[in-house]
Structure 1
C-alpha cells in the first residue's frame, strides 16, 4: 500500500504564525477545536490522529519550497522544524 503524501507548501506562509496555519490545513481536518500553535503541538500533529492520517501511520511528508521557508523563517528555526519532523520514525521526509 502506498503511503499518503502530505505537502507543506512554503509558498503558503512567510512566518511562524502562518506556518502553523499551513500545517493545521494539511495535517488536520474536521476538528471542532483549534490546535495549539507551538513546537510541541506541531510535533503532536505529525504523530497523526487528527483526521488526515492515523496515529503513527507511515506517511510521506514533502516540504515544498523549503529554500524559501528557510529564508522566511530563518535557518535556525527551519532547521529546528526539520529536526522535529525527523524525530518521527513513521515519516519519510523530503524537501523540495
Structure 2
C-alpha cells in the first residue's frame, strides 16, 4: 500500500494566516469546529486523527514552491515550521520548488 502523500502548495499561501488555512485544507476533513491557527495547533494537526489520516499513520508531506514560501514567510519561520514537521517520526517530509 502506498503512503498517503499530502501536498502543502506554496502557491496557496503568502503569510502565516494563509499557511494555516492551507494546512486546514490538506490536513483536516469534516470537522465541525475551527482549528487553532498557531504553532501548537499545527503540531497537533500533524499528529493525525483529524479526518485525513489516523493518529500517527505514516504519511508523506511535500511542500511545493518552497523557495517562494521561504522568501514570503521568512527563513526563521520557515525553519520553525520545517522543524515541527520533522519532529514527527511518522511523517516523511520533502520540499520542492
What TM-score do the two structures reach when normalised by structure 2?
0.98
Give the aligned partner of residue 51 of structure 1.
51
Give the aligned partner of residue 80 of structure 1.
80
The alignment covers a number of residue pairs equal to: 96
Shift of residue 41 of structure 1? 0.2
> Would you identify which runs of 4 or more consecutive aligned residues in structure 1 move more than 3 Å?
none
> Is the partner of 1:89 in helix, strand or coil?
coil
> Is the partner of 2:20 in helix, strand or coil?
helix
Which blocks of at least 5 consecutive residues in structure 1 are unaligned? none
Tell me, in whole angstroms, the C-alpha distance in 1 between the residues paired with 2:64 and 2:45.
18
What TM-score do the two structures reach when normalised by structure 1?
0.99
Give the aligned partner of residue 28 of structure 2.
28
Tell me, in whole angstroms, the C-alpha distance in 1 between the residues paired with 2:72 and 2:46.
22
Give the aligned partner of residue 95 of structure 2.
95
